[in-house]
Structure 1
Amino acid sequence: MDTRRSEQAGDAAGIRARGGSLAPGRVVGDGRYRLLAQFGVDERAAAHLWRARDGQLKRDVALTLLVGDPADPEAARQARRTLERAAHASKFGHGGVARVLDVLSLGSGVTSSEGLLGVVVAEWTKGSDLVDLVAQRPVAPAAAARMVQALAEAVDHAHQNGLVLGLDHPQRLRLTPGGALKLAFPGPLPEATLRDDVKALGAVLYLLLTGRWALPGGPPAIAAAPLTPQGHVVPPRSLVPAVPPELSSLAVRTIEDGGSGGIRTSSAILRVLGQVAEQEERTQLINAVGKDEAAAETDGTIWTTKKPVKDVARRRKLAFGVTVLVVATVVILAWGGLMLINLFQGDGKPTGPAINVAAPPSSAPANPGNQAPPPSNQPPAGPKIGDPVAPKSASVYNPQGSGDNPGRAKNTIDGDPGTVWKTDQYQQQLPALKPGVGIAVSFDNPVNLAQVKISANSPGTKVEIRSADSKNPQLDDTKVVGSGDLNGPDTTITLQQPTQSQYFIVWITQLGDNGGDGFLTQIGELSFLPAA
């Protein structure tokens, strides 16, 4: 438990006074959830962010507590709108957003005596606070780009489904152990728009690069971004010169509302972030190589152009030693040759009793037909394979990353190996930036999977076949049931044993070599063969 969160209580004393005493140990939600530690306050919506313990299911959860007076009609209306949006988000699944487990409202899980207007219950996200991360130092540009890229992919998926996530407050975000940003406390503001989500992505990028928050309503623990005399946000590069110009411009263009060069959609952010992250990784690799070469030149080795001095006595000793070694070698070889000749040139006399090959052996059985056949050493036959089963859907599985052409995932199950899905091109091999990437498929009904046939021309790729219990599981909740290397146009991976599930993941743990130009894997078709 992070006890430092309790220090934030004093920053929202006015709000807390209206909602009673919210302190560790108090029980809310009609006695079900016990508060453990506070992780922030979004004062714009009187939303208190807590880690709590579910007394019924014995697990930790993230609570967004909407504090207010039930007699205030405007506060009650805004709380209902937030709860409605959170309820809609419960149907949305993505690795960048904590899953909404329940939504409690007045009269339905929340009593009027609790001083609360509603509660949004979400799964607990392990890891660390975004605020704690930037409090130490700004994040390296390449890492910042990758972090925001994962969050932008979640926003892009949500906007395609008409959902507003509401990630425009840094204390609602957490950094997972895998290094990805995740919306840990869902519950968008009543009037939040799709544009607010996009601006929040720019503000998060700005925060990672500079340690400053560039939108209104940030927590007191984070300094606000400075403004120019004209009222515009100062570019991150002006505060931290190491920030690449492209990344600095992206942050400002995403936050600013005015101007013709603004960025308005999450898909546009994803495109720019992918390009900037790859370029930054390439630059870091070049710099690392240069440092290694410089270190090699300054390791204390002494170089000279002076000709070696001729030492006659030393040369005589060396010649004598070589002569003795050659003579000893010849003697050993000669002795070995004589031993081999004696071995193969014996006296030629046969030994042992005489054998009449025409007569049957006395120990032969009288009726060999009754003799039992020798036991077989053949391995047991594998399961019979049935006809391929077509998945219902396919999507990019990227629990700790983003990108990798999510729009082309359907090409892996369209029956045409000529249409391919491919990963992004990486300058470093997995798992340098993330543990892997893959394709998640779901079927209409559970299948008893025995083999997976992969059509791919990406030698060097290593894959795992994983079973899952849901469409978008956490990686730790999946199970490896088979693995193999892709070394030809078609590879068939036989599972350790037939596995029944409705959801499977083809998980890439090592990318193929892209001809010396980074690492990349492409897949033309996936076929799933059940046990007959």
Structure 2
Amino acid sequence: MDTSRKEGGAGKVGARARSGPLAPGAVVGDGRYRLLAQFGIDERADAHLWRARDGQLRRDVALTLLVGDPADADAARLARRTLERAAHAAKFSHDGVARVLDVLNLGNGITSSEGLLGIVVAEWTKGSDLVDLVADKPVEPGAAARMVGALAQAVEQAHQSGLVLGLDHPQRLRLTPDGALRLAFPGPLPDATLRDDVKAIGGVLYLLLTGRWALPGGPPAIPTAPHAPNGRIVPPRSLQPRVPQTLSSLAVRTIEDGGHGGIRTSSAILAVLDQAAEEEERTQLIQQVGTAPEEEADADGAIWTTKKPVRDSARRRKLALGVTVLVVTAVGILAWLGMLAISFFQESPDSGGPTVNVAEPTPTAAPDPGGNPAPPPADQPSGGPPVKPQTVNVYNPSGEGDAPARAKNVLDGKRETFWRTDEYRQQFPDLKPGVGLLNSFEQSVRLSAVKIAADSPGTTVEIRTADKKNPKFSETRLVGSGELTGPDNEIKLSEPAEGRYVIVWITKLGTDGDKHVTQINDLEFIAAA
């Protein structure tokens, strides 16, 4: 039994725990539970988290002690609400949540002299503190995704039963020996909601990826997450560049309230976590296969000596695609040579190849009798001259932008330069609603069309206008839309639209193998005539 584990740990929660009656060796619960070590304080409810020894059943338990004055009617009422919710959770069973063994209140296991309003007794969770896990450095992204998986599953199952778990405090969680996070100290706050549980998963993921806590009411031992000047949480990827875009966006969209594209259910979190875990496994497999056997060692020091090739489905698909392209090219060449041979025998000896029919040039329409110029043909765009924005920035109201340093390439007039989105395993809007380019003009312009040079067929875009530089998505106006079908595309607006800020908003990405990505080489904005 590890009773010395938290001698320094009690110091983490401040002098309040040391100077009060709750100290290692003290007995609570009408003499049944002897306190061993303190693991934290959830100051929002004055809930002290302890490991204790059950003197009757001779086993270690986790105690959530609700400290307060029994004469304080409001405090007693809130404590009763917490105890009621904990009692309901006693019927819930999941590996991600410690089982509630008993709930004690005043007159039922607690005397007024103990200075307690209630006790939630749960089975003890072996393992390590979540706070200690991230004290030295953040967790590897792939491991972080797997760790919170069990927690998200527990939330999903609990919510289907109408239960709130109350896991939005890092000291209530512990890491089990098999690497899964577990709610070790149950006892939801009186006003906790289902949404708070979902946000807590995002907060835990943020903590694992950055070592910082992004929700209110965290312990002093953990630094708080930084915020951008606009008040939004700085994405994990900005703090730790190795964090994948998928996990970074997931953490931010889960934590933040409201907005366009927020994640509000545990089932949505599970879908993204599963995808991220699969990506990490594939990445590790590729790295292992590409490393010489005598040089590759795992974390335990074991040497990789397997020499048989690994069946890589992605590689097979690429190889098959290459062979298909080669075959099609060969057939095309043979067909062309056949046409040359046929032409040689059918035409005169002077003929140098098959006859090529050249289309007649389109006649230019003459002015009408009144001298006015004829309107342009129906298949040609009408409008005024191009107008060029002053600046362009990546627009992503649900998180950080994709490749912001390359955004300027779409206005340089060079087809060889480009802006490219991140590569996504899931198509929009599964992961996020979209991403775009916000173009800022010196003054309001009146547009009739937007020309897009791109190399991502299948991409769908919307043209939106706004009145300010950093608009919320709800503050933008849809003025046109279309699909990119080739290298040169023109999105005609249904009617001339006016605005100083124009957003080319991507709602569906192009497809490249098993990835989704869009590349834009140039943008040109056509003024209304």
Taking structure 2 as the reference length, the TM-score comes to 0.54
Structure 2 unaligned regions, length at least 5: 297-529
Alignment partners' CA distance in 2, 1:70 and 1:15: 19
Residue deviations 1:140-160 (CA, integer Å, cap 9, x gap):
111111111110000000000
Report the secondary structure of 2:290's partner residue.
helix
Q: Which amino acid aligns with 2:157?
A: H
The answer (yes or no) to whether the contact 2:29–2:110 under 8 Å persists in 1 is yes
- The aligned residue for residue 178 of structure 2 is 178
User: Which residue is equivalent to 1:287?
Assistant: 287
**8 Å contact from structure 2 (residues 12, 40) kept in 1:** no
Deviations 1:375-431 (A, max 9, x none): xxxxxxxxxxxxxxxxxxxxxxxxxxxxxxxxxxxxxxxxxxxxxxxxxxxxxxxxx
Contact 1:34/1:54 (CA < 8 Å) preserved in 2?
Answer: yes
Which residue type is aligned with residue 172 of structure 1? R
Aligned twin of 1:202: 202
**Cα deviations across residues 430-481 of structure 1 (Å, max 9, x unaligned)?**
xxxxxxxxxxxxxxxxxxxxxxxxxxxxxxxxxxxxxxxxxxxxxxxxxxxx
The CA deviation string for residues 131-176 of structure 1, in whole angstroms up to 9 with x for no partner, is 1111132111111111111100000000000000000000100111
8 A Cα contact 1:87 1:100, kept in partner: yes
- Which residue of 1 is the match for residue 455 of structure 2? none
C-alpha deviations, 1:279-319, integer Å up to 9, x for none? Answer: 121112112222337959xxxxxxxxxxxxxxxxxxxxxxx
2:206 and 2:121 map into 1 onto residues whose CA distance is: 29
**Residue 151 of structure 1: aligned partner:** 151
Aligned to 1:376: none
Per-residue CA deviations over 1:8-45 (Å, capped at 9, x if unaligned) read: 54565575589x41110000000000000001110111
**Partner Cα separation in structure 2 for residue 290 and residue 38 of structure 1:** 47
RMSD, aligned CA: 1.9
Rounded Cα–Cα distance in structure 1 between residues aligned with 2:188 and 2:66: 11
Indicate if the aligned counterparts of 2:63 and 2:122 stay in contact, CA closer than 8 A: yes
Identity fraction in percent: 77
Q: Is the 8 A contact 1:198 1:265 kept in 2?
A: yes
User: Which residue of structure 2 lines up, in the alignment, with residue 228 of structure 1?
Assistant: 228
Q: Counterpart in 2 of 1:406? A: none
Q: Return closer, same or farther for 1:13/1:247 CA change in 2, 3 Å cut-off.
A: closer
Equivalent residue number for residue 242 of structure 2 = 242
Separation in 1, partners of 2:71, 2:187: 22
Q: Equivalents in 2 of 1:9, 1:133: separation in Å?
A: 17
C-alpha distance in 2 between matches for 1:17 and 1:184: 22
SS at match of 1:135: coil
Match of 1:3 in 2: 4
How many residue pairs get aligned? The number is: 296
Q: How many angstroms does 1:276 deviate by?
A: 1.1
More deviation in 88-97 or 272-281?
A: 272-281
The reply on whether 1:135 has 2:135 as its aligned counterpart is yes
Task: Provide the rounded CA distance (Å) in 2 between the counterparts of 1:240 and 1:161.
Answer: 37
- Taking a change above 3 Å as real, the CA distance of residues 2 and 257 of structure 1, as seen in their structure-2 partners, is farther
For residue 67 of structure 1, what is the amino acid of its counterpart? Answer: V
Please tell me whether the aligned partners of residues 139 and 209 of structure 1 are also in contact (alpha carbons under 8 angstroms). Answer: yes
Letter in 2 for 1:108: N
Indicate how the Cα distance of structure 1 residues 283 and 57 shifts in structure 2: closer, same or farther if over 3 A, else same: same
- Residue in 1 that maps onto 2:53: 53
Quick one: distance in 2 between partners of 1:252 and 1:155?
A: 18
In structure 2, the CA distance between the partners of 1:261 and 1:233, relative to structure 1 (3 Å rule), is same
- The residue type equivalent to 1:221 in the other structure is A
Partner residue, 2:126: 126
Matches within 5 A, 1:454-465: none
**Does the C-alpha gap of structure 1 residues 256 and 2 become closer, same or farther in structure 2, counting only changes over 3 Å?**
farther
Q: How does 1:6-85 map onto structure 2 within 5 Å?
A: 6-9=7-10, 16=17, 20-85=20-85
Superposed counterparts of 1:415-426, under 5 Å = none
Aligned residue runs from structure 1 range 102-113, under 5 A: 102-113=102-113
Instruction: Return the offset for 1:3.
Output: 3.4
Question: Which letter maps to 1:237?
Answer: R
Aligned to 2:187: 187
The secondary structure found in structure 2 opposite 1:5 is coil
CA contact (8 A) 1:5 1:40 kept: no
- Matched residue type, 1:215: L
Change in Cα spacing, 1:274 to 1:34, as seen in structure 2 (3 Å) is: same
Distance in structure 1 (CA, Å) of the matches to 2:185 and 2:60:
13
Q: How does 1:276-425 map to 2 (within 5 A)?
A: 276-292=276-292, 295=295
Letter in 1 for 2:6: R
**SS in structure 1 at match of 2:134:** helix
Higher-Rg structure is 1
CA contact (8 A) 2:13 2:40 kept: no
Paired with 2:160 and 2:292, the residues of 1 have a C-alpha distance of 46
Aligned equivalents of 1:21, 1:70: Cα separation in 2 = 15
- Residues 265-280 of structure 1 correspond to what in structure 2 (within 5 A)? 265-280=265-280
Q: Is the 8 A contact 1:6 1:39 kept in 2?
A: no
Residues 42 and 48 in structure 2, CA contact (< 8 A), matched pair in contact too: yes
Tell me which amino acid in the other structure corresponds to 1:22.
Answer: L
CA–CA separation in structure 2 for the residues paired with 1:36 and 1:255: 34
Structure 1 unmatched runs, 5+: 297-532
Distance 2:288 2:17 in 1: 51
Match of 1:3, SS state, is coil
TM-score by length of 1: 0.54
Separation of aligned partners in 1, 2:178 and 2:12: 31
AA partner of residue 91 (structure 1): K
CA contact 1:16–1:67 (8 Å) conserved in 2: no
